């Protein structure tokens, strides 16, 4: 049974992933025991073996006849141009496990229109981030700076904070917008300051202790694989941590 794929007749360009562009690079063109080349067919719920043969109508081995002429698929200087007349190679590359669309890391199809659309999205996101960065209240700028930027915010001038926030918004617009719109930003800021200013101490990377004049008790043990700052922040939000959160908030308001 032939798998139907969307066929738009046009010339296509494929590029190797990564920054290196070898003079010649050959990808696997047939399924073998040593190099499996399989495509999951949802219709039959089976993995089907692939093979590129220009004189066949299908890239599936089980749909090819005994006269299949297997050819190499070679990228020259990191590029492979495939004309609309060679639809079988386009089908083969569409299903190839090395294709980025299929989770592979060998190559991807370069689509100028799609590339332009993505560039527009990125530019609009950068503009949105810069506009938001310009209008953020100073206290929120400081909160983002404490968590996401280097340096001691308490020793920075207002101009330095604004500059660093604008640079961060420009270079990491998506992350900045997420941070600025995060409802838990202030809570995360309190947790970050408490750790940085040693109101609590993290020992052995997992045990968190109070570090107050009258209290040096163990506060909590962080679960394996969990970030201590994230775990501490979540604890502050709980009923057990509410009193300490109020205390820290008051402390930081007075500074």
pLDDT single digits (tens) 11-69: 999 999 987 789 999 999 999 998 999 999 998 899 999 999 999 999 999 999 999 99
What is the DSSP track for 11-66?
-EEEEESSS---SEEEE--B--SSS--EEEETTTTEEEEBB-BTTSS-SBGGG--T
2 within domain boundaries: no
Domain contains 3 = no
Taking only the tens place, the pLDDT of each residue in 85-106 is 999 999 999 999 999 999 999 9
Q: Does one domain contain both 33 and 87?
A: yes
Instruction: Give kind and range of the element (H or E) at residue 203.
Output: strand 200-203
Do 113 and 59 contact (CB within 8 A), yes or no?
Answer: no
How deeply is 156 buried, as exposed, middle or buried, from its count of CB atoms within 10 A (0-12, 13-18, 19+)? Answer: middle
Same domain as 191, residue 157:
no
Provide the pLDDT for residue 151.
Answer: 79
Distance between CA atoms of residues 164 and 168, nearest Å: 6
Segment among 122-126, 172-176, 224-228 with least mean pLDDT:
224-228
Closest CA to 73 of 25, 110, 115: 25
Residue 165 belongs to what domain range?
A: 112-181
Q: Is residue 5 part of a domain?
A: no
Domain boundary among 110, 133, 155: 110
Asked whether residue 137 falls in the same domain as residue 90, the answer is no
Put residue 151 in one of left, alpha, beta given phi > 0 → left and psi -120 to 50 → alpha: left
Rounded to 5 degrees, what are φ and ψ at 162?
Answer: -60, -40
Q: Do the Cβ atoms of 129 and 168 come closer than 8 Å? A: no
pLDDT at 254 over 70: no
Q: Decide if 6 is inside a domain.
A: no
Instruction: Identify whether residues 119 and 100 lie together within a single domain.
Output: no
* Chosen domain end from 120, 147, 181: 181
Residue 27 sits in the same domain as residue 95: yes
Q: With respect to residue 80, please indicate whether it lies within any of the assigned structural domains.
A: yes
Assess if residue 163 is contained within a domain: yes
When comparing pLDDT for 2 and 147, which is higher? 147
Residue range 222-236: mean pLDDT, rounded: 90
Q: Count of CB atoms within 10 A of residue 52's CB?
A: 24
Residue 1 within a domain: no
> Are 146 and 117 within one domain?
yes
Same domain membership, residue 177 and residue 187? no
* Residue 76: inside a domain: yes
Count of domains for the chain? 3
Same domain, 103 and 122: no
Q: Note whether 19 and 101 are same-domain residues.
A: yes
Asked if 20 and 95 sit in the same domain, the reply is: yes
Task: Say what percent of the chain tops pLDDT 70.
Answer: 96
Residues 177 and 189 in one domain: no
Task: Find out whether 198 and 209 touch, Cβ atoms under 8 Å.
Answer: no
Q: Are residues 105 and 17 in the same domain?
A: yes
Q: Which residue among 181, 206, 237 closes a domain? A: 181
pLDDT at 7: 60
At 108, phi and psi to the nearest 5? -150, 160
pTM of the complete model beyond 0.75: no
Q: Calculate the average pLDDT of the chain.
A: 91
Which pLDDT score, from 0 to 100, does residue 18 have?
83
Q: What is the pLDDT of residue 255?
A: 62
Q: Check pLDDT > 80 for residue 184.
A: yes
């Amino acid at each position: 049974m032939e798998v139907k794929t969307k066929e738009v007749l046009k010339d296509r360009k494929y590029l190797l992933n990564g920054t290196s562009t070898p003079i010649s690079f050959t990808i696997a063109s047939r399924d073998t025991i040593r190099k499996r080349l399989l495509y999951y067919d949802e219709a039959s719920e089976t993995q089907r073996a692939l093979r590129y043969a220009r004189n066949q109508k299908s890239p599936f081995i089980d749909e090819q006849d005994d006269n299949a002429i297997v050819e190499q698929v070679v990228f020259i200087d990191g590029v492979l141009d495939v004309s609309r007349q060679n639809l079988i190679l386009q089908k083969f590359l569409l299903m190839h496990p090395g294709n980025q669309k299929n989770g592979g890391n060998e190559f991807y199809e370069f689509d100028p229109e799609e590339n332009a659309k993505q560039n527009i999205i990125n530019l609009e996101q950068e503009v949105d981030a810069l506009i938001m960065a310009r209008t953020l209240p100073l206290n929120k700028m400081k909160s983002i700076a404490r968590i996401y930027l280097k340096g001691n915010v308490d020793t920075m001038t207002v101009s330095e904070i604004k500059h660093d926030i604008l640079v961060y918004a420009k270079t990491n617009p998506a992350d900045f917008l997420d941070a600025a719109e995060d409802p838990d930003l202030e809570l995360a800021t309190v947790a970050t300051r408490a750790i940085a200013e040693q109101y609590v101490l993290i020992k052995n990377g997992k045990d968190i202790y109070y570090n107050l004049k009258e209290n040096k008790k163990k506060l909590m043990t962080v679960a394996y694989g969990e970030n201590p700052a994230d775990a501490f922040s979540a604890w502050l939000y709980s009923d057990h941590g509410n009193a300490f959160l109020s205390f820290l908030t008051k402390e930081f308001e007075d500074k």
